[in-house]
Structure formats: structure tokens, C-alpha cells
Structure 1
Amino acid sequence: MDVMASAQAAALWVGLHLILLLVLSVLVVRQRRLHGVVFGDGDAPSLIQAIRAFGNATEYVPAGLIGLAVLAVAGAPPMVVHIVGVTLFLGRVAHAVGLSRSGEASMPRSVGVTLTWIAYLSAAVALVFYAIP
């Protein structure tokens, strides 16, 4: 397997996820400035939602990116890395959009968590597969 091509695929998804985290962080800062809140959430619903959208992404993205990186190092084909990467990314974007719009259950949040879990499960199965000689 071409480990370099797999590493490049992983680099793409790590980069895109970092951009997503940066965007979500900027949205939190924007809400903080809008509401004049330096620490905490000021009981402002839009700030609470922005904080949770960023927080939820920071809870799920790191483990997913570790999975992508290890897949690349383990020699998984670039297509496997891309499939897991795009699934995780779309899941995290959908979830962030849903959570940013409402603190209630929503279709984007449901789709987001489902795609995230599919990415996790796919990465886990692939990692176990590539770990067995």
C-alpha cells in the first residue's frame, strides 16, 4: 500500500476538521462579543448553543482524527481514509449546524451523530482489520 497517499488523504481530513473547529471557535467568540460575556455563557441561549456546538466537536473530532492517522500509518488504502474522513466531516458539520440553530433535537443533529458513529465504527473495524497480519 502507498502509505504516502494514505497520509495525504489523512492530512486533507485533519486540515478540514481543524478549519471546522476554528470556525466553531470564531462563532463562540462572536456570540461572546455580541452578549458582552467574557466567561461562562451569560444565560444567553445563542452563546450556550455556540459553546455546545464547539464543545461537542472537540469531544468527537480528536478520536476520529486519531483513527484517520492510524489508518494511514497502518497502510489502509487512501479511499478508506477518505470514506472515514468525509463521513466524520459531514457528520460533524451537520451536527454543528443543527446544534447552532436550536438546542432541541433536530434532523441535522440526528444525521450528524449517526454519521459520526458510522465513521467511528468504520474506522474501528478497519483498524482491527489492518492490525491483523
Structure 2
Amino acid sequence: MIFITPIYASLIAILFVALSANVIVGRRRQRISMGHGGHDDLMKAMRAHGNCAEYAPFALLLLLMAEWQGAAHWYLHLLGLSLLVGRVLHAYGFGRARPILILRQIGMLLTFAAILLAALTNLALAL
């Protein structure tokens, strides 16, 4: 039975909806139905949302496969927390009026670490 991946998938889904809402609010504020209309704040909101959409599903799929293959629960939590914290830090650091570069960098490092470690774990368990 799968118990751990749904926790992180649900938390990241909540983050994704919050990032989506941020884009919607920005578009309503600027009265833009498509694109960013040259507004930097809207472009940043769209990219923070897009970046989450680009990385999170792939990482969650790898986490799920590792769980299916019987990876240790503590290790799955480590991967899931790394992904979640990475996505939150990246979104927060990127979405600010004045981006916080170190938070973006740490966020991407944690995200890449989760993806790479989950990929290597899946290979090791599959072989």
C-alpha cells in the first residue's frame, strides 16, 4: 500500500493551487487574460507556477516508483521533504518583488537532489 507519496503529492498540489491563484490574481489586477502583458510581477508569478508544474510531477512519479519498489519509509520522507521544501523555497524566492537568489538556488538544489536520488534509488531497486 502506498502511504508516503500521497502526503507529498497533496502538499505540493496545495502549493501548485496557491501558485495558480497568484497568477489569476495578478492577471485580474492587470486585466490581462493571456500572457503577462509586459508586467514583470505577472511574468514572475507565471514562471514560479510553471517551474512547479515542470519539476514536481516528474519528481513525484519517481517518489511513487521508489515507494512501490519498497524503499525505506525514512528515505522516502527525506526525498519528499527535500522536494517540498525545495519547491516552496524556489517559489518564495522567485516570486518576491525583489527575488531572493539564495532561496531560488537552494530550492533548485533540493529539487534536483530529490530527483537525482529518487532516480538512482529506482535504478538500484530495479536492478
- TM-score bracket relative to the smaller structure: over 0.9
Calculate the aligned-residue CA RMSD, in Å.
1.3
| Alpha-carbon distance between aligned partners in 2 of 1:11 and 1:78, rounded to the nearest angstrom | 13
Q: Deviations over 1:75-123 (max 9, x none)?
A: 1122121111100111111111111015757111011111111111110
| TM-score normalised over the length of structure 2 | 0.94
How many pairs align? 127
Residues 73-82 or 50-59, more deviating:
73-82
Match of 1:48 among 43, 48, 65: 43
State the AA in 2 paired with 1:66.
L
Structure 1: gaps spanning 5 or more residues: none
Superposed counterparts of 1:12-51, under 5 Å: 12-51=7-46
Write the deviation string for residues 23-56 of structure 1: whole angstroms up to 9, x where unpaired. 1000000101111111110111110010000001
Percent sequence identity over matched residues?
34
- Structure 2, unpaired ranges of 5+: none
**What code does the residue aligned with 2:126 have?**
A
Report whether the alignment pairs 1:128 with 2:110: no
Could you tell me which residue of structure 2 aligns to residue 73 of structure 1? Answer: 68
CA–CA distance in 1 between the matches of 2:111 and 2:97?
Answer: 19
AA of the residue aligned to 2:51? N
